[in-house]
């Protein structure tokens, strides 16, 4: 009699499971429970933080040890159109417009090849051009030349030589007053790239996001029934009784024994 009752219960459960699965396949009711994902992430928050810290530390150490740092040195040129009319409005406007022409001339191949020859650099004109940045502050006649290099002293030497050679070249080719060097390069003491702090923060964010994504995917893919609420929610049947876990019972019994002693 008992065996027959068990068989009837098993048959009903299997039928309910099969019907539930079929209904989910044939309808659009299979939605992602955002609240369940939120609680799953909340339960694993320490794991997410630990993963972020681990990846962040590894990223920072890797940046500090394995990546070759580069340094930046800067020199400034003052563009002049005439020597005696520094207060003339027309002269100021002309000097401002000439900065665009000077920018092109500074990065021209003859200037770069002359710099390479003077310093005996082991690089091409294109490689040197890629290491040079020229900026013109708004409404000014100042050209800021920056050079990046893995050697801080070499960065200073290159930027000074670029400023000297380009000043002479511009004065000769354009037949104007050569730009005045108002600031020579300095030997940089702090790396300009890569940033250890920035890479560490990016690594922390990346590690936390990847860990959270893995937890989210595992939560979505997990279709096991763990509680009575899951049975009622996913199978649509009521739970008549539940059998407690034997380990939990033994653990609770051990606690009561300790309290009595």
Q: Which residues pair with 183 in a beta bridge?
A: 76
Mean pLDDT over the full length of the chain = 76
Query: What is the side-by-side strand order in the sheet with 180-183?
Result: 132-135, 142-149, 71-78, 180-183
pLDDT digits (tens, 9 = 90+) for 115-149: 999 988 888 888 888 988 888 877 677 888 899 98
Exposure pattern of 5-30 as b/e (b: 16+ CB <10 Å)?
A: eeeeeeeeeeeeeeeeeeeeeeeeee
pLDDT digits (tens, 9 = 90+) for 69-99: 889 999 988 876 554 444 444 444 544 566 7
**Other C-beta atoms within 10 Å of 191: how many?**
17
Considering only residues 208 and 84, tell me which one the structure prediction assigns the higher pLDDT. Answer: 208
Q: Report pTM.
A: 0.59
Phi, psi of 198, deg, nearest 5: -65, -45
Among 236, 243, 207, 256, which Cα is nearest to 12's? Answer: 236
d(CA 123, CA 211): 44
pLDDT digits (tens, 9 = 90+) for 224-252: 766 666 666 666 666 666 666 665 555 55
| pLDDT attached to residue 246 | 60
Whether residue 28 is predicted with pLDDT greater than 50 in this model: the reply is no
| pLDDT attached to residue 212 | 92
């Amino acid at each position: 009699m008992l065996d027959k009752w068990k068989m009837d219960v098993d048959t009903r459960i299997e039928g309910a499971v099969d019907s539930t699965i079929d209904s989910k396949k044939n309808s659009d009711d299979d939605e992602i429970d955002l609240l369940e994902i939120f609680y799953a992430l909340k339960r694993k928050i320490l794991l997410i933080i630990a993963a972020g810290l681990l990846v962040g530390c590894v990223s920072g150490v890797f940046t500090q040890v394995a990546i070759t740092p580069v340094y930046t040195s800067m020199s400034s040129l003052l563009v002049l159109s005439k020597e005696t009319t520094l207060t003339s409005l027309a002269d100021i406007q002309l000097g401002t417009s000439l900065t665009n022409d000077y920018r092109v001339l500074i990065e021209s191949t003859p200037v770069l090849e002359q710099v390479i020859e003077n310093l005996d650099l082991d690089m091409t004109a294109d490689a040197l051009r890629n290491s040079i940045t020229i900026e013109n502050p708004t409404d000014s006649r100042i050209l800021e030349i920056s050079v990046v290099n893995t050697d801080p002293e070499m960065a200073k030497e290159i930027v000074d030589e670029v400023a000297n050679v380009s000043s002479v070249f511009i004065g000769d080719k354009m037949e104007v007053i050569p730009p005045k060097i108002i600031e020579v390069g300095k030997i940089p003491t702090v790396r300009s790239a890569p940033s250890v702090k920035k890479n560490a923060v990016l690594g922390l964010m990346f590690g936390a996001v990847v860990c959270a994504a893995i937890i989210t995917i595992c939560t979505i893919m997990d279709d096991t029934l763990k509680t009575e609420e899951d049975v009622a929610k996913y199978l649509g049947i009521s739970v008549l009784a539940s059998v407690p876990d034997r380990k939990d019972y033994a653990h609770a019994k051990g606690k009561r024994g300790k309290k009595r002693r």
